[in-house]
Structure 1
Amino acid sequence: MFRSTRPARKLLTTLGIFVAAGALVAGCTSNQEPQNESAAPVNAGSSNDAPGKKVVIGFSGPQADHGWLAAINSTAQAEAKKYPDVELRVAEGTNDASLQISQIETFINDKVDAIVLLPTDGAALTEVARKAMDAGIPVINVDREFSSEFAARVTILGDNYGMGISAGTYACKLVGERHLTSPVIAEIAGTDSLPLTQDRSRGFADALRACGQSVSRRVAADFTVESGEAAASNLLQAAPKIDIIWNHDDDQGVGVKAAFDNANRHEFAFIGGAGSKNAMRWIQDGSMEATVLYPPTQAADGIRLARLLVQSKGLSDLVQVEVPRRIVLNAPVVTKANVDKYLPLGFES
């Protein structure tokens, strides 16, 4: 999937790590007798979700030309609607850095309380993000990092290297469970020039190396259905036998699976990436082994954090009283055993 130049440990998701969690309360000293240690602890309920002062959040996201990117925008807007104290001002989705810069300048001039931004280009948007921060408007940087630590109050990222680690670790598990000797492990990458693709491939190779395996065949696509089908077709023609295939992207995977079906090749375990609803339905019907999440909830998480920042709240499950500066979401493996849990987080390709 084309998620541009951002370089799936889930600290928070829309499943609700923030929702109604018990607040951590430090004990206090007094002249009173200590409580019986066997007594049940008393936990204060979190007030984070209780309505507070109104928060105006400006949101600028990508052009929805890909299932994952569309989900970034839709989940952010859906999350804002859950809070009566949040007013969300949504800029038109764009892949034009100049247009996005003007959108952020408008938010600054309008004196919004916070900005949630998935930049078209992190480096190109750094200066205007710093301008917002200098104006006292906290910026929540989503997915594609700025080139300065001073451009954002919070950075929320998926874990591309972690996706590779998760996929490779699961592949190693399959090798052991299926007693595969000299397995042929193939990889269908995304756009090779992107750091995110390089990180995913590096993680996959590192995880395989840990169990004495390596990638036998590798091709690259371009995060599109058409390129996925072409790359997978080339792979199948070159490799008469394959045991495991990891495809980096589930949108691209629509074409990949079409190539498998056209060639009537299904002898291998098919592992996907990103977590589309298509992939999860294939897992349910047995035509796909697993997929690795790259959460499309990052901007939705950004909305929640922006609200907490403006209302001077922290994360109720942390002792630290302020919102962290950097959050990297987990990249869990979705299988038939847990697909029902993750299906609500999936996106339509």
Structure 2
Amino acid sequence: MNDTAGTGAQGSAADRARWRRYLADERAEAVVYRELAGRRTGEEREILLALAAAEGRHEAHWLRLLGGDETGIPRADLRTRLLGWFARRFGSIFVLALAQQAEGRSPYSTDPDATPAMAADERIHGEVVRGLAARGRRSLAGTFRAAVFGANDGLVSNLALVLGIGATGVPASVVLFTGVAGLLAGALSMGAGEYVSVRSQRELLEASAPDPTAREALIDLDIDANELALVYRARGMDDAEARAQAARMVARVQAAGALAAAPSDALAVVEDDDEAIGTGLSAAVSSFLFFASGALIPVLPWIFGMSGLPATILATVLVSVALVITGATVGVLSGASPVRRALRQLGIGLGAAAVTYALGLAFGTTIA
């Protein structure tokens, strides 16, 4: 650490400006966590308030270096202020995902005036927020996956379809009819496919779940030759752990002399991940609606009477904007770089459209 930092009244002008900036950011981050805590209950609320308290300790460190002088404290950086704005109004998984990224950008690990404990705090805060965000990601994973895939497929497939058909030189009415047909066919196909996929996955998990009637055998099992241990071993426990768990369960049931002493999930070891899968109906509806909304965008120029190259250019621009938005959203919610995800989405979508447009031009020339 800077040798003059401990006096709190020294440090260069650049040092003190940096300390003031850090102080402002720590205060703003503490507000973000308190705002999020105000929208939570129970354990999540306690965790978020503990994070806010930690940011308060960091704030006190920079204030101490400044000798308690709070004059000239700037506003927090734009990212942190935006995060606070979102936290006050939404308090959602989106805000937690942004907070996760913010914690990962901490400069404390390379700053000579930040203590090693502060740098370690920031790294651990990122993992804490990641854990909180993971709860939200699990709850929306199935529906969100269907929504994102549906919108992206609608954008790319229908843009490729209308550009390919339009490039052949057919009348604008044919392009419009083709786009609308592609929208309906794709949306119905996506919805049906998503429903079958999710239902099939749930049925596979249900087939692996313990038979609820098998617990009736617990009261008559031999506690010394406990077959229940084999169940636990088959479900992933090691031998010693399985035997201990089985002995406890059978002893509990037999001591009470009633099956009521055994929990309904007595034969289970891990819970099914149903929440992350979603339901077949919700996934199907999301997939249908988002595919349709995505597929509508490239058709809009023809719906409003445009044709030829102007319609093609406008459709490409509209879809490009939508692809950037969906890609960035996925990046934010996954804790990854939104810019990189947006560019990846844009490149894939425009690449597919370019191929079909080139084929349309080729076929149009051949037909002519």
- Greater share of strand: 1
Query: More helix per residue: 1 or 2?
Result: 2
Range of TM-score over shorter length: under 0.3
TM-score normalised by structure 2 residue count: 0.20
